[in-house]
Amino acid sequence: MTGGLLRGTPGDNIGATPTGITRNVSASTSRGPLEINVETPLDGAVPSAREQIEGHLSALRSLLKEHNGRGNVSPIRLSFDDMEDQPRVQTVVTGIVVDADMKKPFKEAVKTPLTRRIIEYAGPEYKMSANIRLYDGATDPEDHISRFSSAANSGEWPMPVWCRMFQQTLDGSARGLFENLPPGSIDGWAELRLQFTTRFSTRRACFKDPTEITKIVRKANETLVTFKERWIVETGFIAGVPEVMKISSFMDAHKCPKLAKRFSDKVPKTVDEMMTRLDDFVRSEEAFASTELPKGEMSEA
């Protein structure tokens, strides 16, 4: 039996000739095709297609090894070009389509006014401080700049990291205005800070007297959550209010007896602690309300 060019896949087992099959390899030359004669099995059984293919490949490998071992000849390699005919495989990872033959996931370009040298800066990874809150344009921009600068100085960030990290602190209208700046218009922190403060100059603190904070009180039919959000926004326009004065003012203004009792048992030391405890109180009240039984029914407890 004479065989032509055989192809296989990288996973095929092209080892020794299958048991029961003898092979007779004719002499080969560099000018003509390599001929392989495979005889019928000794026991008379008809070999399977896989056994025949493995026998041909094993004999062909021996010939190729002999040929490639000669000097002044072009080496011959087994061809696996048929791999190109296989269907392309794609994998979906967290909503991103990644080609099976590519290592890097697809990344969508983010709209930004930063220059290319800032965007493509390569350096060690830096983490944003947990004390930096998102800025949506409703409070004093200078206060946000001050908090961010303190965190950046503390972390000893390079200048490009300042610019890229600052963009992540913007939300809502502040982020929208920032992204609408001309592309490539910001090439450093000084330019970024100037653009930011200029566009949000109208948001600077307008109340000069810290005692104005005492005028922020909870309205009739206003929920605690709504009052908390309004209180945070309005106090952001009042500069120079001591922390203890903020706590005292809020405790007098929320007008909720149950919450007042919790605060009186343990007075919060910071505004953040006070707001966290308020959130816990609201969640507990909602959970209790959801477990109340209609009148006439008794609990299983």
Q: Are residues 197 and 243 in the same domain?
A: no
C-alpha angle 91/92/97, rounded to 5°? 90
In the 8-state DSSP scheme, what is residue 105? P
Pair 172, 215 in one domain: no
pLDDT band at 42 (very low <50, low <70, confident <90, very high): low
Instruction: Give the residue, 196 or 30, on which the prediction is more confident.
Output: 196
The count of domains in the chain is 3
Q: Is the pTM of this model over 0.85?
A: no
| Rounded CA separation 206/143 (Å) | 13
Say if residue 14 is in the same domain as residue 67: yes
Could you give the count of Cα atoms lying within 13 Å of 159 in the half-sphere of its Cβ?
12
Residue 95 in any domain: the answer is no
Q: How far is 204 from 102, CA to CA, in rounded Å?
A: 49
Mean per-residue pLDDT, 182-203: 84
3 within some domain: yes
Q: Is residue 1 part of a domain?
A: yes
Residue 137 or residue 225, greater confidence: 225
Which residue, 161, 169, 163, 165, is CA-closest to 143?
169
Q: How many CB atoms lie within 10 A of CB 200?
A: 22
- Residue 77, pLDDT > 60, answer yes
Measure CA of the first residue to CA of the last residue in the chain; give whole Å.
87
CA of 55: how far to CAs of 1, 3, 47, 142, in Å? 12, 11, 10, 80
Are both 194 and 217 inside the same structural domain? no
Do 186 and 142 belong together in one domain? yes
Could you tell me the CATH number of the domain that includes residue 218?
A: 1.10.1200
Residues 139 and 180 placed together within one structural domain of the fold: yes
Which residue spans within the chain are E strands per DSSP? 23-25, 36-38, 90-93, 96-99
Q: In terms of residues, how long is the chain?
A: 301
CB atoms within 10 A of CB 136: 15
pLDDT at 283 over 60: yes
Please check whether residues 8 and 59 belong to one and the same domain: yes
65 occurs within a structural domain: yes
Q: What are the angstrom distances between the C-alpha of 248 and each of 61, 132, 230, 244?
A: 88, 24, 17, 6
Range of the domain at 168: 116-203
Looking at the structure, tell me whether residues 189 and 219 fall in a common domain: no
- What span, in angstroms and rounded, lies between the C-alpha atoms of 196 and 140? 11
Q: Name which residue leads in pLDDT, 204 or 233.
A: 233
Sole residue written with tokens 């979906």: 92
Cβ 252 vs Cβ 218: under 8 Å: no
Question: In this predicted structure, what is the pLDDT of residue 159?
Answer: 93
Whether residues 125 and 199 fall in one domain: yes
Final residue in a domain of this structure, among 171, 203, 235: 203
Convert 231-254 to b/e letters by CB count within 10 Å (16 or more is b).
Answer: bbebbbbbbebeeeebbebbbeeb
Tell me, yes or no, whether 173 and 215 share the same domain. no
Q: Is residue 292 part of a domain?
A: no
For the chain, the average pLDDT equals 74
Q: Determine, yes or no, domain membership for 176.
A: yes
| Per-residue pLDDT, 40 | 53
Residues 164 and 186 in one domain: yes
Of 76, 103, 130, at which residue does a domain stop? 76
